Structure 1
Amino acid sequence: MQGNVNQITVTQAKREASSIFLAKVFNWMAVGLGLTGIVALVTAESGIALNIASSPIFFILIIAELGMVFYLSARIERIQAGTATLLFYGYAILNGLTLSVIFLAYTRSSIAGTFFITAGMFGAMAVYGMTTKKDLSGWGSFLFMGLIGIIIATVVNIFLQSSSLYWAISFIGVFIFTGLTAYDVQKIKNMGEKGILEQGEEAIKKGAIMGALALYLDFINLFLMLLRIFGGNRN
């Protein structure tokens, strides 16, 4: 009887730790998305978005973003939590600058509508990742291969300009990023259950930032794929 009570206590403690850590991750993600949205809207309103879209600045920003993600992922164990925080903020700002160009291609109503669709789908898959008893770790390699395939197909279609490939990438991309949302949320949940809250404030903050970055990327990419499908063209 005592053993069962102890087991229940341990399980409850793990769930509480997981909930606390997930809350930290989602808070950081919300900050990142909010910062990106504000920067994108201000940049579009000011007319700077047109200059970004019509110059090499756009590609420079893309390269800078990729560099920041790779650096943060590779160096997270060595850098300070404060540095990781600044990099996350910096990435959110740069992404806001690049995403400002969508206001040149799509109507604001379709952007807003797609955002809410994305939020609904993301929320549903996040809940699934948090509550399912199924181990989603096996999804990782499959989804990663799908992600690489999307990247390659996107680059190829820059030259082919195939409408069929464009739509295939969009629909497959929605499938990939909804799956990644559930996968990443369960992985973050497991980090909480495995005791990351016991590793000190530095480790907690860095873990939360990396988790937030993963979910931020899932949300943004899902949004962009859905925008390709549902977005109303300004032209």
Structure 2
Amino acid sequence: MDDFNVNYPRTADQVAIAQNTLIRQVYAWMGGGLLVTAILAMVTISSPVMLNAIFGNRLVFYALILGELGLVFAISGAINRLSATAASSLFILYAALNGVTMSAIFAVYTAESIGSTFVITAATFGAMSIYGYVTKRDLTGMGSFLFMGLIGIVIASIVNIFTKSSAASWIISALGVIVFTGLTAYDTWKIKAMAASGAEGRKPAILGALTLYLDFINLFLMLLRLLGNRR
């Protein structure tokens, strides 16, 4: 079933089963997306032809970035109109494009620091996601606060493209770690709440996977800027 909400009354046990089922599906799709991203990043960095085609032409690189943004908005905004197959395909395509553009980090940071930062990211993400899933608190207020913080980070990042301040970059990254750590807990809690309200099927799982995937990737990049050793 791929409807977002079911309208029949459910027992507490049924709600718990629905929550566990949806969160497993979310993590499966998210893990698959991260795997696709990693594979495409390795393939790209190993191919001089691809590197030259993507990073040797700014128009191509920016076109890929805009394509990624378009896919995020398409999945998030049109999920109810998409078929489950279309939503799945768009998510995998987004993960693949992200892997292509993220391959640049291998040219900037050492493989050892990328690996260690990934482990730190995974541990932090896992701990906060578990918290978001098991907490009995209502995290709605926390989500609103973090969203405002996210908007601030986006604006500051755009400004810093022109000012090129290393101090501002460090501050933005540090705040980004805090924001995306918190968003990991909030988004996990929100997915659990979605399941409790009746969301089930592949499309809610894809939407949840995309949300947590973005949290993970952004947390990883922010930590890498703070902890990564440059070549």
Q: TM-score range by the shorter chain?
A: over 0.9
Q: Distance in 2 between the 1:214 and 1:144 partners?
A: 13
TM-superposed CA distance for 1:52, in Å, is 2.2
Is residue 54 of structure 1 aligned with residue 56 of structure 2?
Answer: yes
Distance in 2 (CA, whole Å) between partners of 1:75 and 1:96 is 23
Q: Say if 1:50 and 1:101, in contact at 8 Å, map to a contact too.
A: no
Instruction: Return the alpha-carbon distance in structure 2 between the equivalents of residues 51 and 226 of structure 1.
Output: 28
Q: How far does residue 115 in structure 1 lie from its aligned partner after superposition?
A: 0.5
The Cα shift of 1:128 comes to 0.3
1:208 pairs with 205, 208, 221, which one? 205
Q: How many angstroms apart in 2 are the aligned matches of 1:53 and 1:145?
A: 32
User: Residue 77 in 1 paired to residue 80 in 2?
Assistant: yes
Report if aligned partners of 1:177, 1:218 keep a CA contact under 8 Å in 2: yes
Q: CA deviation at 1:50?
A: 5.0
Quick one: which amino acid aligns to residue 224 of structure 1? L
- Structure 1 stretch 188-197 or stretch 104-113: which is displaced more? 188-197
Match of 1:63 among 66, 76, 84: 66
Instruction: Output the aligned Cα RMSD.
Output: 1.2
Q: Which residue of 2 aligns with 1:37?
A: 38
Matches within 5 A, 1:1-235: 10-47=11-48, 48-56=50-58, 57-197=60-200, 204-234=201-231
In the alignment, the residues of structure 1 paired with residue 228 and residue 64 of structure 2 have an alpha-carbon distance, to the nearest angstrom, of 23
Q: Would the aligned equivalents of 1:52 and 1:101 in 2 still touch at CA under 8 Å?
A: no
State the Cα deviation string for residues 14-44 of structure 1 (Å, max 9, x = none).
2121011100010000000000000001110
CA deviations over 1:142-183 (Å, ceiling 9, x no partner): 111111111111111111111110010000000000111000
Identical-pair percentage: 53
RCO (CA 8 Å, sep 6+): is it higher in 1 or 2? 2
CA distance in 1, matches of 2:216, 2:20: 20
Query: How many residues are aligned here?
Result: 220
**Unmatched tracts of structure 1, length 5 or more:** 1-8, 198-203
Unaligned runs of 5+ in 2: 1-9
